[in-house]
């Protein structure tokens, strides 16, 4: 049976901060009633099948468990298999022939207001470019994530939300794992 959801956690196991063993994270999802729980790499990606009708409450539940056990607050976002499929199929940069190694996605916790999207500066970090579609920001970063000014903090402050980034290879691998 394919996985129905992916949980994307922000800011764990990065630069020695917010250490969270994936084994513990898997246990938290299992204790919350999820089945087939599987972590992918150490940056906080978990694919799972939620207990009937309980997916909506999982981000807050898992964030609370992390805070209780490890002492820090970590945003948790969910995407369905269908949302991931749409995201991959509709990447405007991929459709334009941009190399996959330059592509990243920011997953937004909330739908940004149109006025907020319009306030973003397209020239902030040339030659880097971005396109906001729904709850995702597609990024083309020819010089990599480490050199851009198009950061989580920039988008979070302008769009009044919380985001977490993944490179394109991770996005497609997560979907591949979800599909079974």
Q: Which residue has the higher pLDDT, 2 or 31?
A: 31
Phi-psi region of 11 (alpha: psi -120 to 50; beta: other; left: phi over 0): left
**Residue 138 φ/ψ, nearest 5 degrees:** -85, 130
Confidence category of residue 15, pLDDT binned at 50, 70, 90: low
What dotted CATH number matches 5-80? 3.30.70.1280
Please provide the size of the chain in residues: 180
pLDDT, one tens digit per residue, over 57-83 is 999 999 999 999 999 999 999 999 999
Among positive and negative, which fits the CA dihedral 85, 166, 137, 53? positive
83-179 has CATH 3.30.70 classification: yes
pLDDT, one tens digit per residue, over 165-174 is 999 999 999 9
Confidence category of residue 27, pLDDT binned at 50, 70, 90: very high
Residue recorded with tokens 């995201």: 87
Closest CA to 171 of 81, 98, 97, 58: 81
User: Where are the CATH 3.30.70.1280 domain residues in the chain?
Assistant: 5-80
pTM over 0.85, yes/no: yes
In angstroms, the first-to-last Cα distance of the chain is 7
Cα distances from 9 to residues 42, 47, 119, 137, in angstroms, run 10, 12, 26, 16
């Amino acid at each position: 049976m394919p996985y129905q959801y992916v949980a994307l956690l922000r800011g764990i196991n990065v630069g020695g901060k917010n250490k969270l063993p994936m084994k513990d994270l898997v246990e938290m999802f299992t204790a919350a009633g999820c089945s087939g729980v599987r972590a992918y790499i150490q940056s906080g990606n978990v694919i799972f099948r939620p207990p009937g009708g309980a997916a909506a409450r999982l981000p807050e539940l898992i964030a609370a468990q992390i805070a209780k056990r490890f002492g820090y607050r970590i945003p948790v976002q969910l995407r369905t298999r269908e949302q991931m499929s749409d995201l991959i199929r509709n990447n405007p940069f991929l459709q334009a022939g941009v190399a996959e190694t330059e592509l990243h996605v920011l997953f937004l916790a909330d739908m940004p207001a149109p006025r907020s999207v319009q306030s973003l500066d397209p020239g902030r970090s040339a030659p880097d470019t971005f396109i906001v579609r729904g709850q995702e920001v597609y990024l083309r970063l020819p010089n990599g994530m480490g050199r851009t000014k198009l950061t989580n903090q920039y988008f979070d402050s302008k769009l009044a939300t919380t985001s977490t980034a993944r490179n394109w290879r991770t996005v497609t691998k997560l979907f591949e794992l979800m599909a079974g």
